[in-house]
């Protein structure tokens, strides 16, 4: 029993661990999907910054060529958009294009915050562009710096930012793939351990239990065969009334041998049983065996005659005992009947002999004596 309980505990523990690994794998996949979405939005926004830097430089150049009056407003709008994008990527501010804040990484800190980093370059670029937008014109020196930054320093740093984000996305995907592989291997290991630690011992335990059951069945069959041989030799049969409130009877096959009947001809209920009792013995049998139950497993016995298969009556001794039924709601009658016909015949002959002796004259008695 303890072994079975321990196996059950191990089995439940194994199922719990497999469920945990499976759930972790599912959460990992969901996280990878979300992370890929985040990196995708970050890379798109960083790429848009490159485009905005070119548009700002071209728009500022049109100011130098005497552009339309709304050019300053358009330039201001581009500067505002690029400033918001930079704040979102560099400082973690919210942005409509980002699913959530951009991931942190030492490489990004060095790129944005270092001396001469992207944040300094961006501040210089945006301040020149905003000054030109507010003035509606741009100085040649400012335009030269703006064009140089957009074509060289700023563009290079923005491309480096995009490349860094792409590298981080690839690293995240590889870590997720490695973790997924480890979870898969751990799940396989758990299945192998469950086989060796749980299912294999349970299989062996089940096989051993089945062998034991077969051996017990063989022993019971052998005991049954020996019992039937002994019963046939002694001419007795065991029978039972499973519930004394119901007429059903159960008789062993040895009863058929004792009565000289086929097994199918054995009585199946109390009425059929009493039909085979000699009429002169029915009252004694009913009162002794089928009367009110006796308690404390007190036995009752009665001698009576049974109608045999050849049409003759033979004497039997039936001993019965009332026991509580299996559900403890009633009583059952367990009994056995043994053939005593030869003994009764010998007793009758002895009594007849004694009667004949008693009837003889005294002189004859002395001669016999």
Q: Does residue 229 lie within any of the structural domains?
A: no
Instruction: Note whether residue 9 is domain-resident.
Output: yes
Q: Are residues 172 and 84 in the same domain?
A: yes
Q: In this prediction, what percent of the chain has a pLDDT beyond 70?
A: 88
Domain count of the chain?
2
- Asked whether the whole model's pTM tops 0.85, one would answer no
**Is 188 found in the same domain as 308?**
no
Q: Do 126 and 59 have their domain in common? A: yes
pLDDT greater than 60 at residue 67: no
Give the angle subtended at the CA of 249 by the CAs of 247 and 250, to the nearest 5°: 160
32: in domain: yes
More confident residue, 197 or 56: 56
Structure tokens at 161: 């930012």
Among 39, 22, 31, which Cα is nearest to 176's? 31
Given a cut of 70, whether residue 300 has pLDDT beyond it is yes
Lowest pLDDT segment from 24-38, 253-267, 285-299: 24-38
Q: Summarize the confidence of residues 98-120 as an average pLDDT.
A: 81
CATH number of 239's domain: 3.30.450.20
**Shared-domain flag, residues 166 and 301:** no
Q: How far is CA 335 from CA 226, 238, 239, in A?
A: 19, 6, 5
pLDDT at site 69? 62
Separation of alpha carbons 223 and 230, rounded Å: 10
Report the pLDDT averaged over residues 147-173: 85
CB 150 within 8 A of CB 97: no
Residue 68: inside a domain: yes
Q: Does the pLDDT of residue 275 top 90, yes or no?
A: yes
Q: What is the pLDDT of residue 65?
A: 59
Does 168 lie in the same domain as 26? Answer: yes
Per-residue pLDDT at 249: 93
> Is 228 contained in some domain?
no
Contact 56, 75 (CB under 8 A): yes
Note down the domain range covering 303. Answer: 235-364
Express each pLDDT in 75-94 by its tens digit: 889 889 988 988 888 888 88
Residue 169: is its pLDDT beyond 70?
yes
Do 54 and 170 lie in one domain? The reply is: yes
What's the pLDDT score for residue 61?
Answer: 80
Provide the pLDDT for residue 362.
62
Residue 226 lies in a domain: no
For residue 96, which phi and psi values (nearest 5 degrees)? -60, -30
pLDDT of residue 313: 94
Domain boundary pick from 198, 225, 252: 198
Q: What is the mean pLDDT of the chain?
A: 81
Q: By C-alpha distance, which of 65, 50, 64 is closest to 128?
A: 64
User: The CATH number of the domain where 97 resides is what?
Assistant: 1.20.120.1730
User: pLDDT-derived band of residue 284, with 50, 70 and 90 as boundaries?
Assistant: very high
Q: What is the pLDDT of residues 186-242, one digit of tens each?
A: 888 877 887 777 777 777 877 888 888 888 887 776 665 555 555 454 567 888 998
Domain ends where: 137, 172, 198?
198
Q: Which residues contact 190 (CB under 8 A, 6 or more apart)?
A: 14, 17, 18, 21
Q: Are residues 346 and 244 in the same domain?
A: yes
- Which of 152, 177, 198 is at the close of a domain? 198
Domain match, 168 and 32 both: yes
328 or 145, which is more confident? Answer: 145
Which residues have CB under 8 Å from 231's CB, separation 6+?
237, 238, 252, 254, 257, 258
Q: Are residues 45 and 192 in the same domain?
A: yes
* Mean pLDDT across 277-292: 92
Q: For the residues 6-11, what does the mean pLDDT come to?
A: 70
d(CA 356, CA 100): 124
Whether the per-residue pLDDT at 11 is higher than 60: the answer is yes
Percent of the chain surpassing pLDDT 90: 12
Question: For the CA atoms of 132, 135, 138, 141, what is the dihedral angle to 10 degrees?
Answer: -80
**The predicted structure's pLDDT at residue 156:** 87
pLDDT tens across 314-356, in order? 999 999 898 887 777 788 899 988 888 888 888 888 887 787 7
- Is 242 within the bounds of a domain? yes
**Of 86, 76, 84, which Cα lies nearest the Cα of 55?**
76
3-class DSSP state of 54: helix
Predicted pLDDT at 357: 72
Residue 367 confidence (pLDDT): 55
If asked whether residues 90 and 192 sit together in one domain, one would say: yes
Q: Which one has a higher pLDDT value, 3 or 96?
A: 96
Does 243 lie in the same domain as 187? no
Return the higher-pLDDT residue of 169 and 315: 315
21 and 138 co-located in one domain: yes
Task: Report the distance separating Cα 235 and Cα 256, nearest Å.
Answer: 10
Q: Is residue 215 part of a domain?
A: no
Structure tokens at 260: 């000289």
What's the Rg (C-alpha) of the chain?
Answer: 53
Using CB atoms within 10 A of its CB, is residue 214 exposed (0-12), middle (13-18) or buried (19+)?
A: exposed
Cβ contact 162:46 at 8 Å: yes
Measure the CA–CA gap between 67 and 52, rounded to whole angstroms.
19
Residue 293 is predicted with a pLDDT of 83
pLDDT attached to residue 222: 60
68 pLDDT exceeds 60?
Answer: no
Query: In angstroms, rounded to a whole number, what is the distance separating the alpha carbons of residues 22 and 108?
Result: 34
Lowest mean per-residue pLDDT among 156-165, 186-195, 353-362: 353-362
């Amino acid at each position: 029993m303890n072994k079975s309980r321990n196996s059950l505990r191990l089995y439940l523990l194994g199922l719990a661990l497999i469920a945990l690994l499976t759930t972790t794998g599912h959460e990992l996949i969901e996280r990878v999907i979300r992370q890929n979405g985040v990196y995708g939005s970050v890379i798109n926004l960083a790429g848009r910054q490159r485009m905005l830097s070119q548009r700002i430089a071209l728009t500022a150049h049109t100011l130098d060529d005497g552009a339309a009056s709304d050019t300053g407003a358009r330039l201001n709008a581009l500067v505002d958009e690029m400033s918001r994008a930079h704040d979102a990527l560099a400082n973690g501010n919210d942005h409509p294009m980002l699913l959530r804040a951009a991931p942190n990484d030492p490489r990004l800190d060095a790129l944005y915050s270092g001396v001469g980093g992207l944040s300094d370059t961006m501040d210089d670029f945006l301040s020149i562009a905003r000054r030109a937008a507010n003035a509606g014109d741009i100085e040649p020196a400012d335009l030269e710096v703006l064009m140089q930054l957009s074509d060289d320093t700023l563009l290079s740093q923005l491309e480096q930012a995009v490349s860094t984000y792409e590298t981080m996305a690839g690293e995240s995907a590889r870590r997720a793939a490695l973790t997924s592989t480890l979870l898969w291997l751990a799940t396989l290991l758990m299945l192998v351990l469950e086989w060796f630690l749980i299912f294999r011992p349970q299989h062996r335990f089940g096989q051993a239990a089945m062998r034991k059951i077969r051996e017990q069945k063989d022993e019971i069959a052998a005991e049954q065969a020996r019992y039937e041989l002994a019963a046939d030799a002694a001419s007795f049969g065991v029978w039972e009334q499973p519930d004394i409130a119901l007429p059903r009877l159960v008789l062993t096959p040895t009863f058929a041998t004792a009565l000289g009947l086929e097994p199918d001809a054995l009585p199946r209920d109390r009425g059929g049983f009493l039909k085979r009792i000699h009429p002169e013995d029915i009252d004694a049998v009913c009162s002794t065996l089928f009367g009110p139950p006796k308690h404390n497993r007190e036995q009752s016995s009665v001698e009576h005659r049974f109608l045999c298969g050849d049409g003759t009556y033979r004497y039997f001794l039936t001993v019965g005992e009332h026991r509580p039924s299996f559900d403890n709601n009633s009583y059952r009658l367990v009994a056995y009947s043994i053939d005593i016909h030869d003994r009764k015949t010998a007793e009758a002959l002895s009594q007849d002999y004694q009667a004949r002796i008693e009837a003889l004259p005294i002189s004859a008695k002395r001669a016999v004596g």
